[in-house]
Structure 1
Amino acid sequence: MTTRTKEQRILVVMRKLLAQIVKDTTPGPGMRHPLNEQTIKDIRDCFGLISARERELSEQAGIENKDRPRYIDEPKTSTVIEFKAPHKAKITKKPTNDD
């Protein structure tokens, strides 16, 4: 487990805060957005800068990040195999000649 630097913690908090602001200010369908276009663009730019800096810090630490979102219509690159427990053989008692 790695410990995060102060800069990494700041980036995480800022990303979460911006995401919460976007979530809280997103209007319902058909309603006008309370933020103006420039503010929305600035928030997108902030997300981009945060992502770029997080990527730089990961590369400097030698951490390779190949994670990316997978969309539902993308072909799967792996196959899930279902395992079932083998059936237990029934043990029948053999008759003995003790009778």
Structure 2
Amino acid sequence: MSEEQFSTERRILMAMRKTLGGIIRDLTPSDAATRYPLSDATVEDVKKCFDLIAARERELAQAAGVSEERPHFIDEVSTPKVVSIAGLKKRD
């Protein structure tokens, strides 16, 4: 699979995930007294779709050599800095 196909498939998966998420947000009642409009079977099917999308996104990331695609803060340290205790000296 070429890089362009990876990119296109990734964009399709992202669009599907965002669209499904938007539909669920729009259909979710704002108060607990209102009945949820989707059947339990449909909710389970949507969950399975999210699982399949996530699994394929992981496969594409692994094939591209990306270890993790988790969000991070800009000021977050990307690699831990190990400090040797032996190198610490008591200051007078």
Normalised-by-shorter TM-score class? 0.5 to 0.7
How many residue pairs match? The answer is 68
SS of the aligned residue for 1:5 comes to helix
Distance in 2 (alpha carbons) for counterparts of 1:19 and 1:55? 18
CA distance in 2, matches of 1:35, 1:62: 38
Match of 1:19 among 12, 18, 21: 21
- Counterparts in 2 of 1:7 and 1:66: CA distance versus 1, 3 Å: closer
Q: Report the counterpart of residue 29 of structure 1 in structure 2.
A: 32
Q: Please list every run of 5 or more consecutive structure 2 residues that lacks an aligned counterpart in the other structure.
A: 72-79, 81-92
1:58 maps to 2:58: no
CA shift digits 1:29-67 (9 cap, x unpaired)? 121100000000000000000000000000000000063
Structure with bigger helix share is 2
Mind listing any 5+ residue stretches in structure 1 that lack a counterpart? 69-77, 79-99
Q: Which one-letter code corresponds to 2:12 in the other structure?
A: I
Q: Report the counterpart of residue 10 of structure 1 in structure 2.
A: 12
Q: Which has the higher contact order (CA 8 A, sep 6+)?
A: 2
Identity of aligned residues (%): 43
1:45 and 1:64 map into 2 onto residues whose CA distance is 24
CA RMSD of aligned residues (A): 2.2
1:45 maps onto 2:41 in alignment: no
Superposed structure 1 runs of 4+ greater than 4 Å apart:
none
Query: Secondary structure of the equivalent of 2:53?
Result: helix
Letter in 2 for 1:41: E
